[in-house]
Amino acid sequence: MTIKVHHRLLLTGAAGGLGKALRERLKANCDVLRLSDVAALGEAGAGEEIVHADLADAQAVHAMVEGVDAIVHLGGISVEAAFQPILQANIVGLYNLYEAARKHGVKRVVFASSNHVTGFYSQGETIDADAPARPDGLYGLSKAFGEDLARLYYDRWGIETACVRIGSSFAEPKDRRMLATWLSFDDLHRLVTACLTTPVLRHTIIFGMSRNAVTWWDNRLANHVGYVPQDSSDVFRDAVYARTPAPDLADPAALYQGGAFVRTGPFE
């Protein structure tokens, strides 16, 4: 059962893939779900509010945050891209969000960080939240900045944040790498719910993954959040192996946790 502890909850990036997955699910967590994106969101349903805002527009973000009790922040660029768009959406935009939260007295944020913060660790090792960041590109770098920004706003102003290093959240794993990184949509909701409702969150880094047999991530430092995944990529293992070739260990994408992100992007 989902405990409803917030009256009005803000979901940014609501038009994206994970935003769409959470739009209906998060209604159980609040009385009013405020949805925001730069893309079309359709008509507001029962218990919904829609506020269009560009994260790089500080004034628009300030208005977007007004009156909310907590924020689930999925907004911004979610793939590798050129630096300027990432700068505006993921760096300037996140600063604008935290400034708005500070000014409006919002004390809890669930921040969609990424496994690409640590993408240059080997697939043959297990890391925890104390492992230094090793971003695999500009996108991962922006998320590492976001985690540090969230820590600053906790240390100085007491805004608690769960930095959720989302793995691969799809209906099912698409390849062998995702057998380790997969996060089901229902487990994503369970994780967000745990972050919103745990009594004391502080600044916490937690890896967003389901209960997969193969994993590169250890969440023991986030046990206080109370996240208990219930789904597993293991039921897809035979099908994934049948349709995909054995990994080429000469390919960096097969060696590093970031997968293809370690060899893609705007770099020359």
What letter represents residue 152's amino acid?
L
Sequence-distant (≥ 6) Cβ neighbours of residue 123 within 8 angstroms: 177, 180, 216, 254, 255, 256, 257
Question: Which of helix, strand or coil describes residue 82?
Answer: coil
Query: What's CA 26's distance to the chain center, in Å?
Result: 15
Which residues are tagged catalytic?
139
CA distance 196 to 186: 15
CA distance 157 to 240: 46
Residues 158/107, Cβ–Cβ less than 8 Å = yes
Using CB atoms within 10 A of its CB, is residue 221 exposed (0-12), middle (13-18) or buried (19+)? middle
Using CB atoms within 10 A of its CB, is residue 260 exposed (0-12), middle (13-18) or buried (19+)? middle
CA within 13 Å, CB half, 213: 6
Could you give the dihedral angle defined by the CA atoms of residues 145, 146, 149 and 151, in that order, rounded to the nearest 10 degrees? -110
Backbone angles phi, psi at 220, to 5 degrees: -65, -25
